[in-house]
Structures are given as C-alpha cells and as structure tokens.
Structure 1
Amino acid sequence: MSALWAWITLAVVIGVSVVIVEGGRRLLAGRLARHWPSVGRVARRCAAPAFAFAAVVSASTAMPYGHMSEHAGGLVGHLLHIAVIGVTTWLVLRITYALTDPPLARLMRIEGERNRRARRARTQMMLLRRIAAMVIVILAVGAALFTFPAVRAVGAGVLASAGVAGLVVGIAARPTLGNLLAGLQIAFSDALRLDDVVVVQSQWGRVEELTLSYVVVRLWDDRRLILPVSYFTEQPFENWTRHSSRVVGSVELHVDWTVPIEELRTELYAMLQENPLWDRREWVLQAVDVRPNGLVTMRALMSAADSASAWDLRCDVREHLIAYIREHHPEALPRFRTDAGGLEDDGTGTRSGPDDGDAGVTAADPVARRREMRGGEVDDHVRAPAENGGGPERAGSGAGSFRRG
C-alpha cells in the first residue's frame, strides 16, 4: 500500500507543478501581456520548456527510489539527472532567444542614416548570442558526461595533464577556433555586417547570414555563396556599404567625334530629374578618352541611394542615351574612317593618284599605298590600329568634379 501511495504522490507532485506553470503562463500571457506585450511573447516562447522543466524536476524530486531495486533506482536517478540538465539548458536557451528577439526585430526596421549603426549592433548581438548558446550547450554536455564515473576518471586525468591536452585540442580545433576568433574580430571591428553589399570573388551580393563558422552571401541572382568567416579576415573584399549605402554608378558610351556633348549633357540632366532612382546628389557627363579611330568615350556618372537602385539607374541612363543619339543624332553613331590619301577613281574600279600609274593600289588598302609611296617602307602608325583591333580601350578614372543637381 505504501508503494501505491508513493506513486500517487509522484503523480500529484508532477500535476501540481504543471498546474503552477500553467497558471504562471496564463498570468504572463494574459493580464500582464496587455500592458507589456514583450512579457507575453516571452511567456509563449518559453511555455514548452517550462512545462518540461517542471515535470522532470518534480519527478526527480518525488521519485520513490526506495521502492525500486538498487540497480533500477540508480539507473532511473541517473537518467532523470541527465534529463534535468537537458531541460534546464533548453529553458535557458529559449529565455535567452525570447529576450533578444524583440531588440533584433526593432533593429531590422531601422532605416535611413541610423541603418548602418543598427546593422552593426544587430550583427554583434547575434554573434554574441550564438557564442553564449554554444558555451551553454558545451557546459551542459560536459555536465551530462561527468555524471558517468568513467568520464569523471578521464576528466581527472585530462586536468592532471592540462598543458598537453590543451596543446592537442588547440591543434585539432584550430580551424574552429580560428573561425570563432575571426567572427568576433569581424563583429567588433565593423568590417562586415548583416545586409552589407559586398563583392567577393567577383560576385556581387548581400550578406544574408553571419555565423561563427561561415558567412552566407546572397548573390544578385538568388544564388548563395558560402564562405568561412576566416576568409573575410585573410582575403580582400569590397564592402559597398561600409560607411553609407549610397553609391555612384557609371555608364560609358563610345560615339563618333561629331556627338554634341553639351546637348547630350542637357538631355542627361533632364532625364535624371524625372527618374526617381536618382538621389539628386551628384551627376556628370564627361569625355574621358579619345581614340585615333574616330571614337570618343563618354562617361556618365550618377549617384543613387543604394547599389540596387544604382544598377537600375545605370540601365535606364544607358538605354535613354542610346535611343536619344540614334533618333536625334544618327551621325554620331560609332563609325570607322579610312584615309584614302586623295586617290581618284579611274573608271576601272580602282583609285589612282594623278601621277600614279599603278592601278593595283585600291582605296581599301591604304597600307600598300603608303608602302608604295615611301618606297616599300611600312607605316607603323597606320598598321598599329589594325593589328590592335582598332577598338577603344576602357577609360581610366577620369578627372573632373561632380555636378550637383
């Protein structure tokens, strides 16, 4: 009869503890949540681990070990001890995440000039939360393992030879520790933040996730580039939002020398005034290079609020300028000139000069004409454009100040 009462007492203790937790949950998620909504969210997030913690702790306390055999009592007590460690870890982690989620959500909604500081704080908070969770889990696993006598004996031996063990563990865990230190360095040096726009390995993307071991970069075509955290401390990369999200986009056009630059500059400014992607900060249109093949390189620079807007604005400007030149100034489209050297048509399909009796020299072969006129010498200045492809090279950085809209 006493054994029956012992099991009944166990059931009553578990039931009472669960009822107490349920009452606390209703109080926090009901009345108090009306005045403090964050309290209600924390109560709802922590309800499941709180019930498990109450049930396991009450069972471990009221378990009738005296009515079990020595082996069964020891085994049940050991399992309950491990279960208490597990549910306590679960509850602590859930409380930690429930308390830090609302500040992280508020930081995500901050825009404007404060966005950079908000992303920095969010990155640091998330990394610190992951470090805290990792430490808690490691301590919980260690505590659970030390409940076994064999593991305690091994632990005592490890502590006795802590120097050698630390060296071995350090060598074995060097990549993990390196990524951990790299993550802390990135978080507190402000070199990389969540939602930063970066160019890594010639790939443009946005930092989507930053953990203690890897960084996920969401590329422009929705692919994900996953790199170890240590990459960003050992390799160079571009951060377009290091101090501000504003960027300057460029558009280059190769047109004929007859292009009306001032008219094109006026048309560009009028187009930018009507385009909502331009932030009305800076713009300029300059001739940055001229080529001996009759082409001039025009470069338009315009500012935008962020890299995505800059990309779309560049495409709009490029399409508009191409259409404007084609419709209003078709003579300024790219063309390649050939110097015929003043040769005249002799009626036989070839061109010859007034004193030239060689009818085999045509206007399409100026190099041969120059060679014949110079006694067989090759004009390197004429040959060079043809051998080099005759195409314009990419313009340099260019000089000149921005025009302010």
Structure 2
Amino acid sequence: MAFDEIMRGMEARLSWLPAWSISLVLFAIAFALALTIHRIAYEIMTRIVANWDLFWRSLVSRTFGPARFTVITLALSFAASIAPLSQTQATLIRHVLLICFVALVAWIAKTALHIWTTVYLRRFKLDAEDNLLARKHVTQTKILRRIAEIMVVVVAVAAMLMTFDGVRQYGVSLLASAGAAGLVVGLALQPLLKNVFAGIQLAVTQPIRIDDAVLIEGEWGNVEEITSTYVVIRLWDWRRMILPLSYFIEKPFQNWTRDDAALIGTVMIYLDYTTPIEAVRRKVEEIAAASRLWDRRVVNVQVTDFKQSTMEVRILVSAGTSPRVFDLRCEMREQIVAFLQREYPHALPRIRAEQLQPAHGGTAAVTAVQ
C-alpha cells in the first residue's frame, strides 16, 4: 500500500476528531512512518555495501543524516497537504517546511563536498617519501573545502532569513541606503574577510602546504593544519604555534620544503690548521655512504673560512625530508668528532703555549696562543 493511501485512510478513520487533533495525529504518523522507512532502507543499504569498497560504506554512513532528514521533510510535506489545517496554520507549516528544505539543501551540499574531497584525496599519500604533490593537493583541497562550507552556511542562513517578509524588506532597504551601514559592516567583518581572502590566496599560490617544514618567528616546525582562519604549526618539541592566515601573506618566513621535500644539511666544524682535509673528506663520504638517512645526492667538504687560530670546515649532506636531514647532521657530527679524536687528536682546537728566550739574561716569558 502506498504512503499517500495510508495517510488518506488514517484521515478518513479520524474524521470524528477535531481538525487540530487530526492534523496532529497525521503529522505524528507521518513522522513515525518516515523514521521507519528510513531505518529499513538504511539497514538494507548497509547490508548491500558491507562487502564493498570502503568508499561505498563511507558514502552510506555519511548520508545517514541527510537521507533521514529528507524522508522526514517529504513525509511532513505530504501530511500538511492532506491535513485539515486553517489558512494561518497551513501558511506557518509551509514556512517551516521551506526553512527545512533550505537547511536540507545546505546539508546535502556540505556532505557532497566532504565526499568529493575524500574521494579526490584518496589518490595522494602524505606519508610517501616524496610527498610534494600530495601536500600541494591536500592543502589546496582542504582550504577550498572549508571556504566552500562557510559560503554554503552563509547562503543558507541568508536564504532562511529572506523567507521572512520583515527581514527581506529590511535587507532591501539596507542595500538601498548602504553608505554608512556598509562601511560599519565592512569594518566589523574586516578580520574575518581578511582571513577568508587570505585563505583563497593561500590555496591558489600555496606559499605553505600541509606538512611543510617552516622556520617562523625563530621557531622550526611543520605545518600541521590549515583552517579557514588560522594555521597550526607543530614545533619540533611538540608545542603548537597558532597563526592567522593573513600572517603568511603579509610577513616573511622560511619554507624549507617549498619546491622539494629533500634538503641539504650543514655541519660546521672548527679545526686546527694541521688537520688533513683530504682525510676528513674521505671520512665524511664514508659516513654518508654508510648512513640509511643519506639520499645519495649531495655530500661535500669545504674549508669556508680562516679564523685566528682555527679554520672553518663546512660539511654538506642531503636527505629526503627535513627530519632525516636533522638526524643525519647529528650523526655526522658525532662520527666525525669520534674519528678526529681517534685518528687526529691534534686536529681539534687547542691552546698552545710558547716560551720565549730572554734577550739579555732576563726572565723568560710564556705566551698562550689559542
């Protein structure tokens, strides 16, 4: 038996009751039938997709709320069409159902956005060795999705308000005399609009991406999350730095993985002038070759400066990610110092004492040279 036949039959059986009682019963029956029909349909769909791909199971679970709201709204709409309502009651019920329909469209739009971004981002893995492309698409998609969700909510609320005649007339008059009022509203919303437009600019130009290694405000960390208004930086010691989106448009910062996840690490060491540089160079190459952190791209040893008593030696090594570079630099320091202590202890910085002979039988002098 069809749903409309059930409802009309119930109306005929309840004709002896007052009109408001009949309407109330019809709405209650419609609501109960809608919940029952949705529950049965949801259980059937859950069993059908139980052995399917994760996407289909997620799709059914994510659409549970919107689907139930849709069935309830349709059932109540039909009940309102056959219920013995007065003109005022019918107008009020239709207005409420119109607001529910607007909310339903917004809910479906947000759910569709979530499902689409989930499907799109399944192709990209942030835990890959070279995740530059993944970081680019994940960042862009998440920022644009959040902005789109905000726009959906704003449009839905505006549409709901415009269903009221008083609000609609006020909106028209406000637009007609928008001089000072528009200026006040613009100033009040300046921080919000500033971050919204900054989010759009970040999504398009992408000066930062999810999991980028950045040096900002003297702190080193990785971009953990980008919302519609702020960015969360996970610092090296697990603290979190929260910055507004506009910061990354207006102020300078260092992005260590802007074009490539790989980085070149620098190790500076100060050695005595008697140090055999060629032996140090061979040892550095040996340490890098034996390390699982080195990406086999860059290894170099150069004397970059002369100090008063030591020479500055720069060691360059590369790795696939910023954490690997940090660990490789520490490993290089430890092993090269151990090598020098063992093989060339005289190569480490030291203080020399030189005794000068007296010119005419005087007392000898000792000078220290560091």
Write the deviation string for residues 126-158 of structure 1: whole angstroms up to 9, x where unpaired.
Answer: 122112111110111112223334322311211
Tell me, in whole angstroms, the C-alpha distance in 2 between the residues paired with 1:311 and 1:11.
66
SS at match of 1:106: coil
Write the deviation string for residues 101-133 of structure 1: whole angstroms up to 9, x where unpaired.
Answer: 2322432357355x3222212222112211211
Larger Rg: 1
Q: 1:308 aligns with which of 293, 305, 323?
A: 323
Matched-pair contact (CA < 8 Å) for 1:283–1:302: yes
Whether 1:298 and 2:298 are equivalent positions in the alignment is: no
Give 1:246 shift. Answer: 0.8
SS at match of 1:147: coil
SS at match of 1:227: strand
What is the aligned partner in structure 2 of residue 355 from structure 1? 360
Tell me, in whole angstroms, the C-alpha distance in 1 between the residues paired with 2:50 and 2:138.
26
Give 1:60 shift. Answer: 4.2
Tell me, in whole angstroms, the C-alpha distance in 2 between the residues paired with 1:205 and 1:109.
16
Give 1:179 shift. Answer: 1.5
Tell me, in whole angstroms, the C-alpha distance in 1 between the residues paired with 2:361 and 2:199.
79
What is the aligned partner in structure 1 of residue 158 from structure 2? 142
Tell me, in whole angstroms, the C-alpha distance in 1 between the residues paired with 2:255 and 2:196.
21
Q: How does 1:195-344 map to 2 (within 5 A)?
A: 195-293=211-309, 295-340=310-355, 342-343=356-357
Which shifted more, 204-213 or 165-174?
165-174
Matched-pair contact (CA < 8 Å) for 2:22–2:84: no
Whether 1:122 and 2:138 are equivalent positions in the alignment is: yes
Matched-pair contact (CA < 8 Å) for 1:29–1:41: no
TM-score (structure 2 length as normaliser): 0.84
Assess, with a 3 A threshold, how the Cα gap between structure 1 residues 78 and 191 changes in structure 2: closer, same or farther: same
Tell me, in whole angstroms, the C-alpha distance in 2 between the residues paired with 1:211 and 1:223.
18
Whether 1:40 and 2:54 are equivalent positions in the alignment is: no
TM-score (structure 1 length as normaliser): 0.77
Taking only the aligned residue pairs, the percentage that are identical comes to: 35
Whether 1:85 and 2:90 are equivalent positions in the alignment is: no
Tell me, in whole angstroms, the C-alpha distance in 1 between the residues paired with 2:163 and 2:71.
21
- Which amino acid counterpart does residue 153 of structure 1 have in structure 2? Q
What is the aligned partner in structure 2 of residue 17 from structure 1? 34
Structure 1 residue runs of 5 or longer lacking an equivalent are 344-352, 367-384, 391-405
Write the deviation string for residues 2-61 of structure 1: whole angstroms up to 9, x where unpaired.
Answer: 245544433443344344434553454443565565233212111023212321342244
Tell me, in whole angstroms, the C-alpha distance in 2 between the residues paired with 1:127 and 1:267.
47
What is the aligned partner in structure 2 of residue 97 from structure 1? 114
Tell me, in whole angstroms, the C-alpha distance in 1 between the residues paired with 2:36 and 2:118.
28
SS at match of 2:265: strand
Structure 2 residue runs of 5 or longer lacking an equivalent are 1-13
Assess, with a 3 A threshold, how the Cα gap between structure 1 residues 277 and 37 changes in structure 2: closer, same or farther: closer
Tell me, in whole angstroms, the C-alpha distance in 1 between the residues paired with 2:194 and 2:331.
45
What is the aligned partner in structure 2 of residue 194 from structure 1? 210
Which shifted more, 87-96 or 2-11?
2-11
- Which amino acid counterpart does residue 363 of structure 1 have in structure 2? V
What is the aligned partner in structure 1 of residue 3 from structure 2? none
Assess, with a 3 A threshold, how the Cα gap between structure 1 residues 33 and 94 changes in structure 2: closer, same or farther: same
SS at match of 1:281: strand
Give 1:318 shift. Answer: 0.2
SS at match of 1:363: strand
Matched-pair contact (CA < 8 Å) for 2:262–2:320: yes
Assess, with a 3 A threshold, how the Cα gap between structure 1 residues 163 and 33 changes in structure 2: closer, same or farther: farther
SS at match of 2:202: helix
Write the deviation string for residues 247-302 of structure 1: whole angstroms up to 9, x where unpaired.
Answer: 11111111222222222222222121111001111101122222222x12222111
Tell me, in whole angstroms, the C-alpha distance in 1 between the residues paired with 2:189 and 2:139.
24
Q: How many residues align?
A: 353
SS at match of 1:178: helix
- Which amino acid counterpart does residue 142 of structure 1 have in structure 2? A
Assess, with a 3 A threshold, how the Cα gap between structure 1 residues 314 and 37 changes in structure 2: closer, same or farther: closer
What is the aligned partner in structure 1 of residue 7 from structure 2? none
Tell me, in whole angstroms, the C-alpha distance in 2 between the residues paired with 1:254 and 1:105.
49
What is the aligned partner in structure 2 of residue 176 from structure 1? 192
CA RMSD of aligned residues (A): 2.9
